[in-house]
Structure 1
């Protein structure tokens, strides 16, 4: 029998591959060791340079149809997995009888006797499941994780050369030619791995290796106990065969895997020893040098990085493709998208591909008419493309096309006149007033007529006057609120709340509707009587988030900024703002932050003045409870958790609420409690999360799921019908549901982090401690490396919930304190006073400057 082992890697993973091969060779000297290189050849890394392997196979040597298109079709991870069956076929063709594949981030600790024995006993294929027992943990990895990514982990696969396996390799290879992708989980596809769920059904000779010593990894540590021995390591009492260090990062010894947050190297002493030893091995095999080697198939022929969207567009829309995609694709990506009217072709093929992948962009930019398309193109070049990993080369074409139309922020001349010049003038005057005494003395020597001429010229552009230069209409005192007055979204409600506060303080205001960016329901007509065609007040307040500020200014018209004091009131849920918003924020004179958390984020990220203006909460006083309407068990302490899937499930953290409920009450089904979960909206994870909730509800009739859109009155009624509002969020810009529950006199249990800290303290609610964890790229938009949010203490939340159950007096007393606090600090009247005071400061500042001449 001729035996072979192989692994696949690109050059940047060479240190992993060498570490693996070295460990495998110690225990299997009778196996040939082959490295398949999913990359382009390099002069500094040629065959024979790595003694851990007996042979190398380059990508260009593989028997694949149209290798150039194949390598463009997939990103680095997808390509490394897509060629797996092809390498198996290659090695069988070379005469090997038994072949074992291992991922490069695996380390072998002993000989694989159980695998060889299975071969000897007639197995033709050997697979290892991700887990050998049910995993009901609320956080990934769990049963649902394995259902999404595959039952068997394809970091290991062993095959014998038979007619049966050869035929199945051809089937698998044909699937992976076009469907080895990471972005089609909803279709039941996850690179090469999900197809292997079918393999045991198609291959009678399949052996499922259930030995817990194999393929030990972060995904099965719930049921596998690792212990260090004098000689090596044991898993559940058996010698460890191999550990799969999936997601480990050389140089960062504090993370077991970047793909999860439950396990750390310090979770056990044995795990700490195991990972430390592996890090030492990686460093010994050149981790510092190999990890920085660029991926050969990662750039176009001109050196521009290939965005993932380009690969998706290529394989889904453009194949079969004439010519070399590495050379010709950039021009295809710059072509106008096939939407109408698409003025000037401002929405390119690549820009449109981005739009199709983002539900938030589809909501803000419907792309149904030319104005919306120009707004989207404006957002795209102002930083949207950069945040999506699209190189600047693909925004330059859009900039040129917008300039040719005479629209958008790309036409800087108009912006300079209406925004940049006023700001320079104000700064110049402030600098003058802060200058040394002799400079001010020299200024005083300038003849009065000349001095007045200078000041007139400066302040004609630098401060609100009594006219609108774009319409020649008189500007009045007060506020112009600009945003989505009819939208039934959090941002729309925040605008209406601000209007109620302004109204309560007897401040004159008007409202400009710019909800072309919003696809949500627009049924709230409370501000209809205030709507004007164009802002007419001396102070503008843009009631939009920072990512939509630029497109709103463009949609309303940049001239609306001139001769006014401009304010934006954004919400944001992370400690740092995104750099792409800075250009738009420079148009503003100040920022009104709805919470101290948002204030700190924007103060750290921009030079604009930031003022904390709280959010007003007003709940109708005549709301009646109705447990019958929502099928909430009577005589129970009802805990309410409500969230919108469109607000990103990872942030709202429903798993934590379920886990806290189970820890508090799962063992005692006689406890008179109920958990009401109210959801709405959509998300790629919605079905999975709802199935988990429904599964719990089937076994525990105290759990009530409401997945529907309620009117505001119905929402208030639901909150009124419950006793305690629970929010174990990872972060909140404000926390509207929490605040409204408190205003209705409900006790709240909430993570002691971010926006809700303004009103949930030990005297007004039950704040839950937390630890900070990293935000993953796919968990929240506008990803920035290093962002952190909260991981609430589920045990403490469970303890608090158990304490509140049936304790009517405590719940009622805390609810009353919460109600009083919200009335004192967050009523429209209270917030109106804060706004009025700020407007007096703004007006006083203006007058003090104008009085100088």
Structure 2
């Protein structure tokens, strides 16, 4: 540290401020007044939006151009201030940073010199609490304001400030975040309570207008010289009419800075003159931040880093940036012609979201028309960024076959069910095209499985949409050829006895519904205007089970936190294990979970239930096929104390591997699991309660008897031979009742019927339906319209 001990040479000073071109005159007044009272001190005015700025800051030009793409005006100046102070510290012992709208009236070198020993020196914005008298300002703009002196020990603070400032989102209406927010309690600093420092409209009520060392004129406008600041227009605590000395200071300052702007920013427009709008800046900032985050942070889903988006101020005249703005941001946008910028404008405007709730689907033509007229007229997007007309739908061929659309590469229950059905369709010999949707789940679910060999554009007249009701519209919007002119079958599951009104809009999007269980069929069919059928879900045979003898009895439960911890009830499994084996060491429980990083409260609840028990292993990662097989091989019983299941695929997969099951005797699992295959657990019904969407709080599901479950777990540990016998019975039962052959025959027959129905629909329409049927449909229209007005949508 320089100058902090007796006999040390006097510290070398530098002072500075950062402005944009339009405020250069203000900074010149500051620089002149500072030098007048601090002879021998240097003063640097950094013009933030000047072409010379990157060289003055020692910044890579591309880094600087990314910053000026994101930030403008005072926001840009705030981002560059720590960079300038840090740069000046390379050749000075102390750097004084001042807000540009300051005029210096007396020297304060003695205060600034304290930074040589303390690292940071700041001035208190208030010397006493702000009066609560209903006058303005009602809040202080910062605990410390207008002045910062930094010594060499301030570098850690400056590094942190620079990093935070660079990463923060651009402000659309001016800066609301300032450097004092980073100081308190984190970095060492000295607060001086000098009444002559950091004086401005926020504290002039407690300080005399004479004897000032400097005065900040933030918000003062020479064109309205009767106001001290534009920030206090209605009920100002300090009025110039009552303060002649202050009024004279303001008028003289106004004469010095003048009223005209000092110049336009070269970064306010793109090359060619198109305004660089706040939406463009926010869009670019988000993409830049996302790319940097994936470069710096290991991604739990294994996603690779995105390419940095091009900025508009390179050698290509902004062509790459304009192309980036007009590209689709996702496969969904690509399918519907929506540009990246148009999608961002829609996201930034609540009124547009209300008028065009489906800009990629039902409202895309109307939204495109708005973009081409009002959007261009309002300057929200240039004509070259207006969404293009989407290509016309590709008509299906007359051949028999099926398009299977869904999350076919995703590691989640919906994806696995889709793959099970696909394998059965292939076994049935039905021609098939796979339509893979990944984008809408890429942020929450790993999509790393290999894509099917038959991926392609929808060809056939029948489409099987392997997503639930609430994602059906998204699939059809993302892949419009999947639905256009096709017979649509929805593969839906639901886990409660009542199918909620919020899901009913999906009925209008399909011609038929398949479910994986009679339980789900009953729930959906009670409300459905289209046929609902139960598919005999096959459970493929992985081969004769291999058991690894072990001295401990191992229990297993596999679940996805995205399917809601409340429904899967892993804490119930933990509690039953604790009740079954207090103090016993020859038992082990494995909880294999995914997507916990997206469901922190549920994960923390589970960890609290485990309580550090070394016998319980929480395995929070995706497993390879070999790893999963090895886990099953070590398992003596599978435990699923679920509250409800639409089917219960993991229970079925355990059974086909010869593993006995302990499971709640309720919902979809009861259709293939019973006492001969394990231990059904009785239950009582209970309310779902809040916090487990998409399940309605007033819904009902099962509350399994944990004492019975604990007794079943003890039975497995005490008689492993009987457990193996029930496991073998479970395997035989599943192979006999859930064969791929039976599913293939059902699928071939049902898809053939759907194909014939589709062909018949292409012929001239028959006579209208019976009047009673037509009248019933008409009667439903106002009910559905009212539901939509209330926001009840799929």
TM norm structure 2: 0.48
Q: Which has the larger radius of gyration?
A: 2
